[in-house]
Amino acid sequence: MKKEFPVTLTIAGSDSGGGAGVQADLKTFSSLATFGTTVFTCLTAQNPDGVSGIYEISPDFVSAQLQAVSSYFPIKAAKTGMLYSKDIIKSVASFFYENPDIQLVLDPVMVATSGAKLLKDDAIQSLVEDLIPLSKLITPNLDEASLLLGEPINHYDQLVPMAKKLFEKFKVPVLLKGGHLPNATIAIDVLFDGKSTYEYSKAYLKEKHTHGTGCTYSAAITAMIAHGKNLSEAIGSAKEYLHLTIEDDILTGPIHHLNHFPEPIN
């Protein structure tokens, strides 16, 4: 009997450098035994040094891609990455409003590690009002959480209360990623689902190239959800996978990149 792979979907921007965005998502989906489908929101001209150009896909064509994929494939879980504009967000939100059975992991991509803006200023309100309420999980890093809350997050002791504060604001489970804490020796993430708090920690891997870790993490969570794991289990497995991709990195010319195909994660 042929093995059936659950279908996953990424709605995100392209990374021409191959390390983040849709490219990282597809590698992750494949590595974790799901069949990845795609909806492109933007094309970027970029490499690990930075983003030199962004070409926005029209909202109508984003909707056309969503319709084409969903009318054929039984999508189990989906994730969003770079959405870029208010009109794209509204198109994506309309799709998930009409397809509530697809479990959505929302990675609120706002600014690249290089500093490039990946979300227009007028799009933040639409993200908050139109799309976050339709999500099963949001996965902000510290900078994104600070923008969403309007206050800085600089210390480990803030992780749990800020995760709870994000939940109170948006009424959806929150995975607050603490990997950018200053002088961190342990990478700690906190999930608050409205009832329980979970912490996920791994040793901080210094002097490692981490371009694409946010995309990879949210894609891995999406894949685990598609395989039927509950939220806390899915995040735990995804955290293990992410750690391996960083630890077992591969040399790609001048730098190392995440290895999206380490030993299988169960």
The yes-or-no answer on residue 245 being catalytic is: no
The one catalytic residue in 79, 177, 179, 216 is 177
CA-closest candidate to residue 141, choices 122, 170, 162: 162
CA distance 165 to 144: 14
The yes-or-no answer on residue 44 being catalytic is: no
Q: Which two tokens stand for residue 80?
A: 């969003």
The yes-or-no answer on residue 113 being catalytic is: no
The one catalytic residue in 13, 41, 178, 215 is 215
CA distance 208 to 220: 20
Distance of CA 99 to the CA centre of its chain: 20
The one catalytic residue in 8, 213, 216, 222 is 213
The yes-or-no answer on residue 177 being catalytic is: yes
The one catalytic residue in 214, 222, 239, 245 is 214
The one catalytic residue in 212, 216, 239, 245 is 212
Residue type at position 235: I
CA-closest candidate to residue 80, choices 93, 98, 61, 63: 93
The yes-or-no answer on residue 215 being catalytic is: yes
Per DSSP, helices labelled H in the chain are: 21-31, 59-70, 86-98, 124-126, 142-149, 159-170, 213-226, 231-247
The yes-or-no answer on residue 42 being catalytic is: no
- Please answer whether residues 235 and 175 qualify as being in contact, where contact means their C-beta atoms are separated by less than 8 angstroms: yes
The one catalytic residue in 139, 210, 216, 245 is 210
Report, as residue numbers or ranges, the catalytic residues. Answer: 177, 210, 212-215
